[in-house]
Amino acid sequence: MITTEEETNIPQNVGAEEAVLGTCITDSSNDFYDSIAHKLSAEDFYLYKHRLIYKSISALATRGDDVNEITLIEELKKSSALDEVDGMSGIMTVMDNAASALQCQSLVQVVKDKANLRLLRRSFKLAIQDVEDETKDPESVRADIESALLHLDKGSKNDMSLKGTIEQLEVDFEKQLKGEYKHEAIRTH
C-alpha cells in the first residue's frame, strides 16, 4: 500500500504537464503538437486527467482537425471524459498555464524525464518486492529490470538532431532499396 509520504515522492511536474497541454490547445496551427508528438505519449503524463486531454488532442491532430478549446471539449464529450478532466474549468486551467512553443520544448523533456523516473521507480520497487518475497529467482528479477531499462532506452531514441535525422534517412533509404520500407507517419493536418 502506498503511503501519503510515498505519494509525494513520486516524480512529477504538474506545472510542466499543464504548460505542454495548454500550449497544444492555444497553438492555432497544431505545429507545436506536431513537434512533440514523437516525444510524448499519453502515458507520460502523471495526472489521469492530463492523459485524457493529451489523448484527445492527439486524436484531433491525427485526424487533421484544429486543436482548440472548443474542438477539445467536443472530443472529450465524445469519449465521455469531459467530467473526468474537470469540465470546461479544467481545460481553462490548463490553457492558463500555456507558454510559448519555444519555452515549452524544454518542458516536454521535463514531462518525459519524470515519466521515465516513474517507470524506473515502479520497476525497482517491484524488483525489491520480488526479492523480499522470494517469489522469483534472481535471473527473472534481473530480466524484469533489464526489460524496464530497455523500454526506457527505446523511448529516448527519438534523436531529432541533424545527424540523427540523416542517420535515420540512410536507414530508411536502405530499407527502400531492399523493399522493406514501411511508411510510419501520422498526418496531423
The reported pLDDT for the residue numbered 187 is 54
| Cβ contact 27:133 at 8 Å | no
Write down the pTM of the prediction.
0.75
Closest to 34 (Cα-Cα) out of 114, 108, 95, 85: 108
The reported pLDDT for the residue numbered 1 is 46
Each residue's pLDDT, cut to its tens digit, for the chain (189 residues) gives 455 555 668 999 999 999 999 999 999 789 999 999 999 999 999 999 999 999 999 999 999 999 999 999 999 999 999 999 999 999 999 999 999 998 999 999 999 999 999 999 999 999 999 999 998 999 999 998 988 888 775 554 455 555 656 767 777 778 788 887 666 655 555
The reported pLDDT for the residue numbered 3 is 52
The reported pLDDT for the residue numbered 160 is 52
How far is Cα 158 from Cα 184, in angstroms, rounded to an integer? 14
Phi, psi of 139 (to 5 degrees): -65, -40
The reported pLDDT for the residue numbered 53 is 98
C-alpha cell at 135: 517469489
Ramachandran bin of 91, using left for φ above 0, alpha for ψ from -120 to 50, beta for the remaining angles: alpha
